Amino acid sequence: MVERKPFYSADDIRHLEYQHSRPGEAPFLRGPFTQMYRHKPWTIRQYTGFANAEASNAAFKQTLAEGGQGLSVAFDLATHLGFDSDHPAAQADVARTGVAIDSVEDMKRLFAGIDLSRVSVSMTMNGAVLPIMAAFIVAGEESGVAREQLRGTIQNDILKEFMVRNTYIFAPKPSLRICADVVDYLSHALPNFNSMSISGYHFQEAGAEPALELALTLANARAYLDAISARGLDLDHFCHRLSFFFGVGMNFFDEIAKLRAARLLWCEEVEHRGARSDRAKRMKMHCQTSGWSLTAQEPHNNLIRTTIEAMAGVFGGTQSLHTNAYDEALSLPTEHSARLARNTQLILQQETGICDVADPWGGSYMMESLTQQMADKVRDYLRQIDAMGGILAALESGWVSEQIHGQALRAQSRIDNGQRPIIGVNRFVSDDEARPPVRAIDADEVLHQQRQRLQRLKETRDTSRVEAALADLTTAAASPTANLLAFTIEAIRARATLGECTQALLKQMRRHQADAHYLAGRYGLERRQDTQWRSVRREVDAYHQLLGRAPRALLVKLGLDGHDRGVRLVASGLKDAGFDVDISALFSTPEQVQRMLDSAPYDALGISLLSGAHLPLVEQLLNTLGPQSCDRLGVFVGGIIPDQDIPALTAMGVDAVFPPGSSMEAIIRKLITVLAD
């Protein structure tokens, strides 16, 4: 958090260089446009997608009918990682956290009846950016919308995937080439399409405070500018289509300051590199309210949190906004919760007068001062990153992970010791709270349909044309000057699938696998004076005495779920409480987990799942391990687990389930009770 004074006065801003700047003028601290929301309010753009193309298409149409102003597609994890729905590795994850897209035919169904020349579409896609962008372009063409008319944004921000989000396919270097190919191609062929959404949101979700979130985002943006400029592209030709994406959490003043500072720093960066046009220098951004701030306990409180966060995004001058639904710590949003989330924005736009004035915080002693402090803090981080040799070097050295994880641990320890209040979680906890209904997806049915569709596609297409296009794509991957998006478009037009395009690329670029790790010592240090923590530590010590050695836990991530904030926090907490702890690599298979379990005398097995695929994945794992191993181990599951699934997990042999918001003490105490039983 940026340091605060008890009050601010004119003295705090007298020295500030930009205090007399205006919205719509460089350095754009006060907003990218002169009139801001008076001319056009931010776009209400809700991230949506589940099950199959038809179900998501219906949700899109409903969104647009009920006041949504742009679309934002959530793809399922199989699509993100370049697997067709019929791939064995993808079975449990198809259709759970987004829509399953295997081919251009699915993409056409996804937008059937929606005029793509009028509605702008954001697609959150990074790993499988080539086939998805290609399928969108071909779907547009085949429904009569020329490339120049297509409007929207592709996330295409792979670097942060290696730092936090983990939906990468290839290693960083070939991935950067793909990003640059996409920017290059779109800047010529789709002039109205934003070719990147350089994202800080996921850093914040993983634990970064606002200054670190912004610094890492800008450091990644610099790496992209280097890679794209190295091809000889002029900044004034492509920069105005590089867009940004930030999270907005409960740190109200800092979040507004962060968004204002972001525009200032971006303008300085591109000016320094020689950009001339205002279009290139003004940062445009999408914001999303914080998913991490949502609590599973008393979920209706999340409506209030989201409203406050949305206001920070708007006061910060965002161009587009997603407001989370109140039930997202429990499951995918229901129709009703999605409607309330959208209405939050409609009410802000239409009932409050907030849109009347550009940068309403401009001139506030405190806000101007905080904006400057935020910018200075970010500049400090950027200098540190430069000193390490740039963001790729900082990533490889482990610095990025350590910074984010360290801040996540600090936040968690402050929640667990009560210094950071979360109403309904560590203060004013209610005992008799009713859980709202959650949306259930029939993923098995979607899987069955997608398999049938893939089979039909393969039976009816011109196989030799597909094979030739895929061979060309493989050849292009070996040639650094070929544009891979151009070749992927030809393959997709020939009806190659997303998985086949990925396989064609994998013949030249191997699938990347990162190691998993956690920080030891930090959490315990934060809590060393805390009596609750000391008492938990004593319980672990007593159990240690009983066993004659430290209790040992293996924590695993199964399936295609790459969210690792929770598993790393729990690993750090258990370690500092006195356990020996190992964590598996992401995307582990049951066989890999079995091998790890066989390698050491583990007492507990923790499974972290936020993808909605907990029932099939836990079942597969426990079946593979067999009843003997399960009886010997304490088995616990953490993550987004709806209440109604807990009995089924218990019947499989799971000893305890921990939803988001579970305190470290609660986890450790339960574990010790189960193990000692």
Catalytic residues: 47, 201-202, 557, 561, 563
286 lies in the binding site for ligand 2CP (CB under 6 A):
yes
In the list 40, 276, 448, 538, the residue contacting ligand 2CP (rule: CB under 6 A) is 40
**Can you point out the beta strands (E) in 474-611?**
552-557, 580-583, 604-609
166 lies in the binding site for ligand 2CP (CB under 6 A):
no
Identify whether the C-beta of residue 306 lies closer than 8 Å to the C-beta of residue 323.
Answer: yes
Map the footprint of ligand 2CP across residues 45-64, applying CB under 6 A.
45, 47
- Nearest in space to 621 (alpha carbons), one of 659, 660, 592: 592
Closest CB 243 distance from ligand 2CP, rounded Å: 3
Run of H or E residues at 320? strand 320-322
Residue 552 in tokens: 């040992």
Between 42 and 518, CB nearer to ligand 2CP: 42
Map the footprint of ligand 2CP across residues 315-354, applying CB under 6 A.
319-320, 322
In the list 30, 108, 284, 563, the residue contacting ligand 2CP (rule: CB under 6 A) is 284
Measure the CA–CA gap between 415 and 529, rounded to whole angstroms. Answer: 15
Residue whose pair of structure tokens reads 């218990």 in the numeric block: 650
Please state whether the peptide bond connecting residue 27 to the residue before it is cis, i.e. omega within 30 degrees of 0.
Answer: yes
SS3 category, 194: strand
Closest CB 325 distance from ligand 2CP, rounded Å: 12
Closest CB 125 distance from ligand 2CP, rounded Å: 9
Interacting span for ligand 2CP (CB under 6 A) from 78-86, 119-127, 435-443, 457-465: 119-127
Map the footprint of ligand 2CP across residues 192-221, applying CB under 6 A.
192, 194, 197, 201
Closest CB 306 distance from ligand 2CP, rounded Å: 14
Residue 228 in tokens: 């794209």
Residues facing residue 607 across a β-bridge: 556, 637
39 lies in the binding site for ligand 2CP (CB under 6 A):
yes
Between 39 and 118, CB nearer to ligand 2CP: 39
77 lies in the binding site for ligand 2CP (CB under 6 A):
no
Interacting span for ligand 2CP (CB under 6 A) from 284-292, 383-391, 484-492, 610-618: 284-292
Cα–Cα distances (Å) from 30 to 248, 258, 262, 504, 585, in that order, read: 18, 12, 10, 46, 44
281 lies in the binding site for ligand 2CP (CB under 6 A):
no
Closest CB 60 distance from ligand 2CP, rounded Å: 13
Q: How many residues bind ligand 2CP (CB under 6 A)?
A: 27
SS3 category, 335: helix
Measure the CA–CA gap between 425 and 640, rounded to whole angstroms. Answer: 16
CA 128 to mean position of chain CA atoms: 15
Between 40 and 427, CB nearer to ligand 2CP: 40
Run of H or E residues at 221? helix 210-229
122 lies in the binding site for ligand 2CP (CB under 6 A):
yes
Between 70 and 316, CB nearer to ligand 2CP: 70
Between 195 and 297, CB nearer to ligand 2CP: 195
160 lies in the binding site for ligand 2CP (CB under 6 A):
no
35 lies in the binding site for ligand 2CP (CB under 6 A):
yes
Helix axes of 531-547 and 565-577: crossing angle, nearest 10 degrees:
70
Residue whose pair of structure tokens reads 């240090």 in the numeric block: 525
Between 35 and 624, CB nearer to ligand 2CP: 35
Interacting span for ligand 2CP (CB under 6 A) from 282-290, 413-421, 583-591, 623-631: 282-290
Measure the CA–CA gap between 302 and 546, rounded to whole angstroms. Answer: 43
Closest CB 245 distance from ligand 2CP, rounded Å: 5
650 lies in the binding site for ligand 2CP (CB under 6 A):
no
Interacting span for ligand 2CP (CB under 6 A) from 57-65, 285-293, 333-341, 385-393: 285-293
Q: Supply the DSSP symbol for 12.
A: G
Identify whether the C-beta of residue 667 lies closer than 8 Å to the C-beta of residue 573.
Answer: yes
Identify whether the C-beta of residue 229 lies closer than 8 Å to the C-beta of residue 270.
Answer: no
Rama region for 274: left / alpha / beta (φ>0; ψ in -120 to 50; rest): left
Interacting span for ligand 2CP (CB under 6 A) from 34-42, 215-223, 248-256, 627-635: 34-42
In the list 21, 72, 344, 371, the residue contacting ligand 2CP (rule: CB under 6 A) is 72
Map the footprint of ligand 2CP across residues 529-588, applying CB under 6 A.
none
Closest CB 40 distance from ligand 2CP, rounded Å: 4
36 lies in the binding site for ligand 2CP (CB under 6 A):
yes
CA count, 13 A, side-chain hemisphere, 425: 25
- Amino acid (one-letter) located at 3: E
Measure the CA–CA gap between 301 and 327, rounded to whole angstroms. Answer: 10
Cα–Cα distances (Å) from 200 to 203, 213, 293, 475, 561, in that order, read: 5, 5, 16, 34, 19
Closest CB 160 distance from ligand 2CP, rounded Å: 9
The strand order across the sheet containing 285-289 reads 193-194, 152-154, 121-123, 70-73, 43-48, 320-322, 285-289, 242-248, 196-199
SS3 category, 127: coil
Between 36 and 53, CB nearer to ligand 2CP: 36
Closest CB 94 distance from ligand 2CP, rounded Å: 18
The binding site for ligand 2CP (CB under 6 A) comprises 33, 35-36, 39-40, 43, 45, 47, 70, 72, 120, 122, 124, 153, 192, 194, 197, 201, 243, 245, 284-286, 288, 319-320, 322
